[in-house]
Amino acid sequence: MRWDNLAENRTGPGLFDAEAVRTRTFDTPEFRGVTFHEVRARSIVNRVPGASRMPFEWTVNPYRGCTHACVYCFARKTHSYLDLDTGLDFDSQIVVKINAPELLRGHLASRSWQGAHIAMGTNVDCYQRAEGRYRLMPGIIAALRDHANPFSILTKGTLILRDLELLRQAAQMTEVGVSVSTGFMDEELWRTVEPGTPSPQRRLDAVRTLTDQGIDCGVLMAPVIPFVGDRPDQLRATVRAIAASGATSVTPLVLHLRPGAREWFMAWLGVHHPHLVRRFERLYAEGAYAPKWYQRRITGQVHALAAEFGIGPAQRGAARRIPPVEEPELPGQTQLTLL
């Protein structure tokens, strides 16, 4: 692994000292086959590239790589900067910035920091399974609470419920936005395409708990996967379940396939839905995004269903509304992926 790619990037001081990386494995069923690379990061608050198009400018990402292992994950490409592959290595070689809470607290206290909104979960999931062991988020949320710094979290991880009390405390001090993402309710599709995540229903149960406890929570309905997750009955079942969860909003987002994710997703498609490979190649012939007509069709269907079930779209500025960034990421920069 080329830690020097991150330890000494060309755009400024490296993210951490290459010699300070500590590699660990844990012999428990949930972490079997997973290697953790513990690093002491030099900085933790990242500026979003192309920030003028974003509703916020700053992110915090305590992990790289994600054991939730979604086949389509847009963040896969970032692992190639470590000379790791964007497939299995992304799912199983996890970089952990073990000093994230203390670094953030120092950053928030600095005179130059103006208290801007900080978004989390926009690159990889901050409530992936590793968080159960490393417990970085409680310190991060506590720092944000203590500095009354507004923030948002986007996740597929039900582990967020562990930090409910901290979120409630933070919400009394500042603006806190929580969004959960689930693009479909289909259990069979979930098991193969998002194999490391809590089930869609468990995620929506978490939304119910959050809203019942006074934390507003929206749902990013993402990704809507063409041909396997976009039938009218599938969209209907998903929006109905989201509305029933008490979510404050639903926002659909069609699958996009950037390099890194595209190869991995197409390999999955070839195994599970080989008859659809040609159709996908045609639909995504122009690049990473499905054509505008397709995106508009899905958005229109979801909005109509949302109106029927009495749930609204997200407000501007919520984490779930962030458009994906197309600029190539340099080592050490943040890439928004949307879970």
Positions in the binding site for ligand SF4 (CB under 6 A): 66, 68-70, 73, 75, 124-125, 128, 156, 197, 339
CA 98 – CA 42 distance, rounded (Å):
11
**Rounded least distance, CB 293 to ligand SF4, Å:** 25
CB 225 within 8 A of CB 188: no
Compute the least distance from the CB of residue 233 to ligand SF4, in Å.
25
- Cβ distance to ligand SF4 smaller for residue 69 or 84: 69
Q: How far is the CB of 125 from ligand SF4 (least distance, A)?
A: 4
Of 89 and 125, which has the nearer Cβ to ligand SF4?
125
For the chain, the 3-state helix, strand and coil shares in percent, each to the nearest 5, are 40, 15, 40
Least Å distance, CB 155 to ligand SF4, is 7
Where on the phi/psi map is residue 176: left (φ > 0), alpha (ψ -120 to 50), or beta? beta
Query: Which of 156, 258 has the CB closer to ligand SF4?
Result: 156
> Max Cα separation, the chain?
58
Q: Which is nearer to ligand SF4, 151 or 190 (CB)?
A: 190
Cα–Cα distances in angstroms (integers) from residue 107 to residues 104, 119, 227, 335, in the given order: 5, 15, 45, 20
In whole angstroms, the minimum distance from the beta carbon of 339 to ligand SF4 comes to: 4
HSE-up of 330 (CA within 13 Å, CB side)? 14
Nearest residue (CB) to ligand SF4, 125 versus 131 = 125
CB 77 within 8 A of CB 258: yes
